[in-house]
Structure 1
């Protein structure tokens, strides 16, 4: 099957043979346009992949402390008939772990230092089923939470701010207090630090303390656990499963999934990612519309060729197709090069960034400042496909005006001075 001459000429003009200085200059401009598109596409892929990597890293660390779904009573009191609720939750095929918990705010004091904390009462045997806190805590720390001994496991940053180590005593000041003839006296209880955990998420490492569930019931005067924590096979199904549990569980409860618990943070990340996509797309747009000047110069240079083709019977549509092919070739090649370059960097950023840091004797993410000391990357198809499509569409759109202008060339005027 013969190749259409429009395609042959379009590819020839893309290469722009260097028979003359002008052709060589046009070839250079085409190359610059192609390189601009490639760099724009690569920059988009790399930046979005790094943002995805940071989001995934923070999410993983966050979910190492919090559960996928939490079920609590609406009044904040102990959850009635908790065993029946747990059994009903386990019937859902997505649920792989269920554990009771108690959550309350309190103060922890050590000498003159006092910090507001979130106290979480847990069952040390069931907690590993719903979170990865046992993996980030000191070895055997959760096993030291024995009912009646009033041990506490502190976040590493909270322990540092209170200047405590294993074996030190801290005072837990529970809300509410006791009414006595002398007035309201706060309820105080001495706890022994039995370990620390380091989740890598500052918000929790600096404000979370864990005690045994039975000790929490005594301190906060509850008849039982205040809720259930649930872990799923697929964390991305948390919202759907939460809605299913709300519809199937007996009674009225407050059910929150991890996306709703951290709604503000995830919304901010999505807005930032969307804005970066728009800003970097403008780079691709600028590079793509450089094709306009390239094609206009090509049309001006090839006026005589266009006139000859018209006198040989070529239609205006055929002339337009030639230059559309030329611009599309530049766009396709630039996009493909950008995809290869961007994905190559994104998948090897854990090697490239350390090499650059070693060469420059610097650190882009100092460990004493940032929670994450290595540059993460997570290329996703949902980002890459729109980038490629937008690049191709912009490149094609940039060819329309110069191609239409080429189809309007008058053969008589073009050949008058040839």
Structure 2
């Protein structure tokens, strides 16, 4: 049975989260582990959770007062990050997470409501300055600014559903993912370590005391259960909606696959529309006339005794006909070019007459007269090769995957 992958140690890691407490709930064990390993960790928080619930009676009066809630949650995240080992902290839109040519801005909590399926959904009254109301491009640029200011080697955030559907989480996922791709650095998503989708699993039991201390800072959002002397390593807490959550012993991450880029392929003659085929034939005739005229005029040119004109024009004819056959897989276009070359050379020879002949009765003249026809017959006689089948999408990725199950 394969062992879990050990926690890796990227030099600099940027974790992007939506609200204070998300960094601890979703990735606190990994943050503490990375800090202990000596990595340079930065937590980027998008909003101050202004619309979060206030769980304890003494904090309940703050509910609905955005500025006061924000101030309180700023103090909570400061304490939590200190407990996790004091990673660097940035606010999205603030210094270090905003393009330097733009004034700083403050994204606010979009709020949420529980849908009939038990998952979070966007609140109907999200404020105008909320994260989800902001232009996604602006949010992406702010995350990119954070990547650059921290020199991050990797970005971590939620999976595409935001974990449980919160609109701010979903927005953060898209912004972080697009920003990482734009900066050409790896992006990893937080997933269930035991759900079979994780590429990397981090054992967070060794840092369980740090995680407990961090969770205890968020008294407005959750209540940490006392230590069970029978199971001292177990850590659980109660959320505002009453659900009791058992903190996992492992945290999982799935690496984002680079977008599949399908190389553009030239359209073959048979794949063209009727209008496209007519246009292609006209172009082939025009190109053939140009090549035929050029060859007829220059094939007698020499450098000393070397027939430079004949060599160049013959190679040009061969390249044109062979290239057309291979690129467009069409005998029709090759025939059109060949006919245009031959007719043009004969017309020009007739126009020149005997007083100023363009095609002489010598080796170069005979070669130019019959050479293009011979090349055309060879190219036209080639069998049509079947197209090379493309490998199934994802086959390369599948071959590179590694089993990280316990």
Q: Same fold (TM over 0.5)?
A: no
Which has a greater percent of strand? Answer: 1
Return the TM-score normalized by structure 1: 0.26
Which has a greater percent of helix? Answer: 1
